[in-house]
Structure 1
Amino acid sequence: MTKHNIYTMSFAKVYPNYVAKAEKKGRTKAEVDEIICWLTGYSQEEFEAQLVKQTDFETFFEEAPQLNPLRNLIKGVVCGVRVEDIEEPVMKEIRYLDKLIDELAKGKSMDKILRK
């Protein structure tokens, strides 16, 4: 089975797109970082180290210190696919992140995004 191209793409190359999407809608880089750290369990320093290392998406999620147990509450459609129906683990994590960034850009409060 061939891996999807996103798996081998550097997270650091896509990260500015997450930030730009949020900032275009009046949100901040700090909020994007908070979402990423909430989802993965990385501290801000650990997250920044992953960016410097140009870690690929697959490794980024595999090395995540503690994937948030509340992430299974993330529901909805990303790229025409229901997040909760994705079976491949790495793709599911990527789409969880995509969905959270979408929610941020749509103006949801951080409490709701972080499932508090």
Structure 2
Amino acid sequence: ALEAVGPEERGAAVGTNSAAVALHHTMDRTVTATGAEDLSPVTAPYFSINLFGSRLATEHDLKGFNLTFTSPRVAGLEALQNGRRALVTGRARWLLAGATEEALPEGEP
């Protein structure tokens, strides 16, 4: 269980490419139509795909490390590989590793 390991020994490795695709498209439309000054200050920080993993680490007190992989098609695999490496080398004793994606809009690869 999470509580059995100290926060400094907990890590996260997340792979994603399109976890925020709908938000990014909305932001693009806003900037194109009316300018960046109309972006919401609540959602603007999520332009950085790394923020999802950072929030995960903050909310679950994962202080050992937090990695976000974004390589096309293989980000989830990289998260698992690097997470395993962290466990094997002793960089972490508890790991949350995986991938998250959002369905791409029609016509996107």
TM-score, scaled relative to structure 1: 0.24
TM-score, scaled relative to structure 2: 0.25
Which protein has the larger Cα radius of gyration, Structure 1 or Structure 2?
2
Higher strand share: 2
By relative contact order (CA 8 Å, sep 6+), the higher-ranking structure is 2
Higher helix share: 1
